[in-house]
Amino acid sequence: MRIDIITVVPDILTSPFEVSILKRAIDKGLVEIHLHNLRDYVTDNYRHIDDYQFGGGAGMVMMIEPIDKCITHLKSEREYDEIIYMSPDGERLNQKMVNTLSLKENILILCGHYKGVDQRVRDHFITREISIGDYVLSGGELAAAVVCDAIIRLIPGVLGNETSALTDSFQDDLLAPPVYTRPAEYKGWKVPEILTSGNFPKIEDWREEQSYLRTKKLRPDLLKNE
């Protein structure tokens, strides 16, 4: 998989890909991340990427021309399965969406800033708009990093134990059960006995039950399709 990200602040997006699981995925050649600085596509000497909004009002708007140049250039090199704009009014990110995106070959993500991008960019270039939640960030970069992280960890071979992503929360509309590790007793606080019993079918049943109870308590909305 290849992910291209268009941004005016590429620095925000360097460290997430330089450590831990995402770095390993890149080193193993399972994913390529390419950052594109929008300012490289500006023609005026001041490297303007934004301007006042028509109709007046506070806040600058990202201009269409540099974005058009950048997207058109990238599209001339390869076909994109999705051209995503990160936006608080987009479709709310969830695990199903992430699962679908993890199967794509080439994804292009546009990060907005200021008041966002000229609406014509959204109308003519964007195939999907994604929000990471009902709050407003100052730029799309952190949101793009969230999307990339969620997608990349699902690519086969990225997580050490292949099955571990399948037992995480939201797969099957259930939250994950509680997990414990050594020591089996700490300050008198014990791990549930079943987990040290070695009875694996029973442990599986217990986990399923705990998943259900936790979901019922914390996120009953996920069980509405029962």
CB of 118 to ligand SAH, least distance (A): 11
Ranges of H-type helices in the chain: 20-27, 64-77, 95-101, 119-124, 141-152, 200-218
> In sequence order, what are the residues at sequence separation of 6 or more whose Cβ sits closer than 8 angstroms to the Cβ of residue 142?
12
Angle value at C-alpha 131, between 68 and 95, nearest 5 degrees:
120
Among 3, 7, 33, 88, binds ligand SAH (CB under 6 A): 88
61 lines the binding site for ligand SAH (CB under 6 A): no
For residue 190, give both structure tokens.
């014990």
Among the residue ranges 12-20, 43-51, 134-142, 150-158, the one whose residues contact ligand SAH (CB under 6 A): 134-142
177 lines the binding site for ligand SAH (CB under 6 A): no
CB of 183 to ligand SAH, least distance (A): 41
137 lines the binding site for ligand SAH (CB under 6 A): yes
122 lines the binding site for ligand SAH (CB under 6 A): no
CA distances from 190 to 76, 196, 223 (A): 60, 11, 30
Identify the CA nearest to 191 among candidates 200, 182, 199, 202. 182
66 lines the binding site for ligand SAH (CB under 6 A): no
Report the interface residues with ligand SAH, using CB under 6 A: 86-89, 111-113, 115-116, 131-133, 135-137, 139-140, 143
